Structure 1
Amino acid sequence: MEKLVLFSVNDLAKVTNHRSGELKFGEKMLTVPKDVLPIDYLNNCEATFVLLGVPEDVGVRANLGRPGTASAWESAIKAIANIQHNRFCKGSQILVLGTLDVSEQMDQAKDLKFSNTDDRIKLSDLVTQIDKDLAHIISCIVKADKIPIVIGGGHNNSYGNIKGTALGLGKPINVVNFDAHSDFRILEGRHSGNGFSYAFEEGFLKKYFIFGLHENYTSKNVLDTLKKLENRIDFNTYDEIGIRKEKNFTAELIKALDFIKSEPFGIEIDLDALPNIPSSAMTFSGFSVEDVRHFINHFGKHKNARYIHICEGAPDLGDEKNSHLIGKLIGYLVTDFIKSKREVCTTNGKN
């Protein structure tokens, strides 16, 4: 795992605000000790969940989006480290592995322009490099029988999560995606809008459910493609559920889980589906934070849920005085996922 930047115990201490009489996640979460190979520690540590950051916005740039998603990891780890370690959720269940080293790709991407055809090809090539490195790390986590919690970055990283999990398990997986967009666009070179279509085309994604598509931002071509693949891809729209009330939110959760639960599956959360959350494709209309928390609990508690990916948050695009709020939101979603696996937490998280 040469493309892994390990998160050390000193790094954890720097982001943890110690307070007398309180015990924070940052005082209990695990990190890979010095002089121990990450793969060996993965295979032998007691943590169930592995926290991995992908601090990039190359895929967003390659998709004509607004850069800024690279800043989510720093905000998130600061918030997660300061969650209270208590009987409801225990930091000792988490190994903070570190971040994918995307420094080279980020440096090469910063001056490339989407409007330039040659630059667009270069951006897609950089995304492909990230795909390869992320898939390798995810496969190592899954082979160690751990559950990845991935914080992006752009939604291009869905591909690496899917491929890595499929390789780790030795078979294709299913996915449920809480998103305003399908990210199932044409295979025109990798970017944040086609991670699922590439994973599907290459045989790593078996069945796919998109939860809460925004009708105004889903093209006819994509809808036609989804229709042709309806035996393996299903979806609902936010407009059907939240506006016209033609479908019930809870009933749709049950339907979506029924569609994917027969095989190991991933949970993808795109923060641009939530109103007023700084992201590359920010919206003013959509599901609430409470809705996505309910969503995560519903899917996370199933035995076949094998990873969660939270992406597209961009603190750099928000109010400078409140940039920490994206991290706080991600912290809620991370702990909701862990709490949904309460039986696992109760068994292993005793301290």
Structure 2
Amino acid sequence: MTMLIPFHINDLKAIVNYRQGETKLAQHMQCLSFESGEKNLEAALLNAKQHGAKFALLGIQEDIGPRANLGRAGANQAFSASLRQFANLQSNRYLQGQECLVVGQITLENQLDEQADLETLRRATAELDHHVITICQAIFKVGLEPIVIGGGHNNAYGLLTAAKQAFNSPLAAVNLDPHSDFRPREGRHSGNGFSYAAANGALSYYHILGLHELKNSEATLEQLSLFGASWHSFQQIWVRREITLDEAISQICQNLNHTNLPVGLELDVDAITKMPSSASSFAGVPLLDACHYVYQLAKQCDCAYLHLAEAAPQCHEAGIDAGYRDVGQGISELIYSYIQGRLN
């Protein structure tokens, strides 16, 4: 069973590091104005929008999707690490804070221990899809943009499906990721969110930035080609330098805008060098390049949401405290990059 655990104003107050003469984002950020999970969710979301909210920060506290894809646990801790860091950034002329509504976390009542088999994990991932769709659809319906943090990349399926239902249109998606997550539809997991979304009509156009040429099977590449997906590989941009990142982003934005579809902006943090995740990359994309990607796509395209998946603080090589620090700081920069792009 899954449920939405709303984030309350007292929860925000509890994580603020107060300092005389300074105001933190958390002191202006909004929370939902009800006490009982999904009850009257749409009304609470609309109330926040009427008070200036534009972005809905939503956590997904799960790691069953990555585990169902034979990955590591830990993606269930990303939201708490990220929010604590982001909420303590300064409220000033660049961002006040009231633009951000902290919705809360979608939480699995039964997290499934490490003994759970693949069939059980994949069945639970499919159940989670329904709750992600329900909650995200309510966010889209009132005109807020979800910024979804934590959990596996399996949740791209729920986001794309919710957006399709809310906008009555399929989406175009761009994904910074060494993996295409377009694996066969063999049961739900973090490696096939986009192939399932394509199959149900939620995904009409798909581009992968930073796809690693040797981390995707030939069968997956063939499936991508048959769908009509496109990509710039990690090797093309960061190794062989055949094209610059800015040139690739310019091409991506031009093609996305040509579709006239709402855009799902996706990022798997395992694309970022040494970011703690379910499949960390030693040779990856610099964090600043990832922020630049998010900012430019948010600014130039009709983005419906930002999805930051797979961050796993407990997977940091120096321990969980270092993981909370690095995930929190990295995700905070990505969140602000998106907000800058959308507000500029």
- Normalising by the smaller structure, the TM-score range is over 0.9
Q: Percent identity at matched positions?
A: 35
| Letter aligned with residue 40 of structure 1 | A
Identify the match of residue 198 of structure 1 among 179, 196, 200. 196
Identify the match of residue 231 of structure 2 among 207, 229, 235. 235
1:74 aligns with 2:72: no
* Corresponding residue for residue 58 of structure 2: 52
* Corresponding residue for residue 11 of structure 1: 11
1:328 aligns with 2:322: no
Once the 2 structures are TM-superposed, how far is the Cα of residue 144 of structure 1 from its aligned partner?
A: 0.3
CA contact (8 A) 2:34 2:44 kept: no
Aligned to 2:254, what secondary structure does the other structure show? helix
* Corresponding residue for residue 63 of structure 1: 69
1:40 aligns with 2:38: no
CA–CA distance in 1 between the matches of 2:153 and 2:96?
28
Once the 2 structures are TM-superposed, how far is the Cα of residue 228 of structure 1 from its aligned partner?
A: 2.0
CA contact (8 A) 2:263 2:301 kept: no
CA contact (8 A) 2:256 2:301 kept: no
- What TM-score does the superposition give when structure 1 sets the normalisation length? 0.92
CA contact (8 A) 2:74 2:312 kept: yes
- What TM-score does the superposition give when structure 2 sets the normalisation length? 0.93
| Letter aligned with residue 67 of structure 1 | A
Aligned to 2:72, what secondary structure does the other structure show? coil
- Report which stretch shifted further, 331-340 or 315-324: 315-324
CA–CA distance in 2 between the matches of 1:244 and 1:40?
51
* Corresponding residue for residue 84 of structure 1: 90
* Corresponding residue for residue 94 of structure 1: 100
* Corresponding residue for residue 342 of structure 1: 343
User: 1:171-182 to 2 correspondence within 5 Å?
Assistant: 171-182=169-180
Once the 2 structures are TM-superposed, how far is the Cα of residue 229 of structure 1 from its aligned partner?
A: 2.5
* Corresponding residue for residue 25 of structure 1: 25
Aligned to 2:232, what secondary structure does the other structure show? strand
| Letter aligned with residue 21 of structure 2 | G
Q: Deviations over 1:257-303 (max 9, x none)?
A: 12222210110111000111111111111211110111011110135
Aligned to 2:78, what secondary structure does the other structure show? helix
Once the 2 structures are TM-superposed, how far is the Cα of residue 71 of structure 1 from its aligned partner?
A: 1.0
> For the aligned residues, what is the CA RMSD?
1.4
Once the 2 structures are TM-superposed, how far is the Cα of residue 31 of structure 1 from its aligned partner?
A: 0.6
* Corresponding residue for residue 166 of structure 2: 168
Aligned to 2:214, what secondary structure does the other structure show? helix
Identify the match of residue 277 of structure 2 among 276, 279, 288. 279
* Corresponding residue for residue 249 of structure 1: 245
| Letter aligned with residue 33 of structure 1 | S
CA–CA distance in 2 between the matches of 1:101 and 1:228?
36
CA–CA distance in 2 between the matches of 1:329 and 1:103?
28
Once the 2 structures are TM-superposed, how far is the Cα of residue 121 of structure 1 from its aligned partner?
A: 1.4
1:210–1:332 Cα change, 3 Å: same
Gaps of 5+ in 1: 114-118, 344-351
| Letter aligned with residue 260 of structure 1 | L
CA contact (8 A) 1:280 1:312 kept: yes
User: 1:149-168 to 2 correspondence within 5 Å?
Assistant: 149-168=147-166
CA–CA distance in 2 between the matches of 1:112 and 1:89?
45
Gaps of 5+ in 2: none
Once the 2 structures are TM-superposed, how far is the Cα of residue 90 of structure 1 from its aligned partner?
A: 2.2
CA–CA distance in 2 between the matches of 1:134 and 1:34?
19
* Corresponding residue for residue 116 of structure 1: none
CA–CA distance in 2 between the matches of 1:263 and 1:238?
26
CA contact (8 A) 1:51 1:150 kept: yes
CA contact (8 A) 1:68 1:279 kept: yes
| Letter aligned with residue 223 of structure 1 | L
| Letter aligned with residue 8 of structure 1 | H
Identify the match of residue 288 of structure 2 among 276, 281, 290. 290
CA–CA distance in 2 between the matches of 1:214 and 1:101?
32
* Corresponding residue for residue 310 of structure 2: 312
CA contact (8 A) 1:112 1:123 kept: no
